Amino acid sequence: MKNKSKSDLSLSAGWKSLKSKSSRRPVSRPALRKKLNFGFKFSLLTILFATGLSALIWVVFLEEEMGGETLKFSGSAVPIKQIQFSSDGVLSHQWFARWLGPVRQKSLLDIDLEELHAELLKEEQITGAQISRVFPAKLVVRIKERHPVLVLRLKDKKTGFKDWFVSADGSVYRGEGYSNSRISTLPSLKVSPADLKLDASGEGFQKLSGIPYVAPLLELARRQYPDFYRDWSIISYDRPSENDPGAHILVQSKKVGRIRFAPSGYASQLRRLRYLLTEPRFSQSHFVRSIDLSHDRSVFAKI
């Protein structure tokens, strides 16, 4: 066999020296997929950002062209198709539909929520309101109402007698939506004309400061002594304050002509009244002239 020459050996060694010395492994398929996904997401975010920036620049340009006039995009909005109304009182969906008026062809964007909220709170019977839009075409309205504890019957020159309602905080308001059966269960309030003062509008009345003392008595009697409460017809009061020894609340009823309460400690006074009316002398009597419970544990009664 013929020996290789030196030139052949040097050429062979040169080819070996061209072999890559890198230890880097080939990219795996999952790693390649992850890299491609990252690139796709980055490109998508870049496109979205560029689109949003372009839209903003376009809106600013149009506003400048229109002399600063605010753009409104309600022209193609869907007309209101549903109004969801709820209340914790007697006002109904029909009442709200009459109050709001026609909404035909109006969209949710045509309704000014702040203005609607303010207008609702102007109603004497309403104490709170929540209004929201549910796109594409639903208006949601929730209200809170005053609840009457007394009815105030005042003489009106045009209509004769007119009913006003009194809530637990002393507010006097013209109510709407109360049934005759509901009104008939409310005791009437007898108040001095000097205590009934006109409000700033001249059409209503200021709050009655004594009612917050009277309301807890009525609520307790209504819940725990319904037979007493149903019999109470007229409520009046005089300086109802816990610090005034002459202060009292007076109840007129069918069974007892006059029941006098101190303006605090109603639970114990009502228990004494129950005990007294179960005694034979009082239970067998068709009518009791007066019972005075306002002197601590002492009770004064006349048959």
> Which residues, at least 6 apart from 174, have a Cβ–Cβ distance to it below 8 Å?
124, 125, 164, 165, 204
Which of 261, 185, 269 lies closest to 230, judged by CA?
185
From the number of C-beta atoms within 10 Å of its C-beta (0-12, 13-18, 19+), residue 224 rates as: middle
pLDDT score, position 104 = 84
Per residue in 216-266, pLDDT (tens digit) is 999 999 999 999 999 999 999 987 776 777 889 999 999 999 999 999 999
Per residue in 36-64, pLDDT (tens digit) is 666 666 776 777 777 766 666 654 454 44
pLDDT score, position 70 = 39
Fold of 148-302: Rossmann fold (3.40.50)
Residue 10 pLDDT more than 50?
no
**Parallel/antiparallel/unpaired status of strands 288-295 and 188-189:** unpaired
Mean pLDDT of the chain: 84
> Domain ranges in the chain?
82-145, 148-302
Q: Is residue 6 very low, low, confident or very high in pLDDT (cuts 50, 70, 90)? A: very low
The domain 82-145 is placed in CATH, from the list 3.30.470.10, 3.90.650.10, 3.40.50.620, 3.10.20.310, at 3.10.20.310
Decide: 169 and 209 in contact? Cβ < 8 Å. no
Q: What is the average pLDDT across 111-119?
A: 96
Q: What is the pTM of this model?
A: 0.72
CB atoms < 10 A from the CB of 238, how many? 14
Per residue in 178-229, pLDDT (tens digit) is 999 999 999 999 999 889 999 999 989 999 999 999 999 999 999 999 999 9
